[in-house]
């Protein structure tokens, strides 16, 4: 269960990082939307597996739960923003604002990702 969660979360990290920085460099395109979607799905699956693990073996700290849920919600918002921009065919007009928001949400997501990894590693050493 934990190994699956770790794999899903690392895949989310890879796809989300790829989407954010590739989209920033090339502008927002449909391929970035697909990559965002894959990253969001991986994050959801990893979060779900971590939740099952936490219920079975002990609760994660409240601060990590809050940052994790907020980050998943931010990532979902990020995906919806990219989807709306693509569907409206106004991606170029939205690019400047989108990329500012993108880095903020990505930074929050990274904080939750690394705080969970750090907490998990510290817990394993006890």
Whether the per-residue pLDDT at 91 is higher than 80: the answer is: no
Domain boundaries, the chain: 2-125
Tokens representing 124 are: 């394993």
Confidence band, pLDDT 50/70/90 cuts, at residue 114: confident
The secondary structure of 29-62 as a DSSP string is -HHHHHHHHHHHHHHHHHHHHHHHHHHHH-PPPH
The answer to whether residues 12 and 39 touch, using CB atoms and an 8 Å cutoff, is yes
Q: Rounded to two decimals, what is the model's pTM?
A: 0.81
The 10s digit of each residue's pLDDT in 8-27 is 999 999 999 998 888 778 87
Cβ count within 10 A of residue 110: 15
Cα separation values, 104 from 75, 101, 126, Å? 11, 5, 34
Each residue's pLDDT tens digit, 30-70: 888 899 999 999 999 998 888 888 778 776 667 777 878 88
């Amino acid at each position: 269960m934990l190994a699956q969660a770790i794999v899903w979360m690392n895949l989310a990290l890879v796809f989300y990082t790829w989407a954010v920085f590739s989209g920033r460099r090339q502008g927002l395109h449909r391929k970035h939307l697909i990559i965002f979607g894959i990253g969001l799905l991986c994050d959801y699956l990893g979060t779900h597996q971590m939740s099952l693990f936490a219920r079975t073996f002990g609760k994660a700290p409240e601060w990590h739960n809050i940052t994790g849920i907020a980050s998943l919600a931010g990532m979902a918002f990020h995906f919806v923003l990219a989807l709306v921009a693509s569907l409206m065919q106004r991606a170029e007009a939205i690019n400047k604002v989108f990329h500012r928001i993108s880095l903020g949400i990505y930074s929050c997501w990274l904080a939750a990702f690394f705080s969970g990894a750090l907490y998990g590693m510290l817990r394993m050493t006890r």
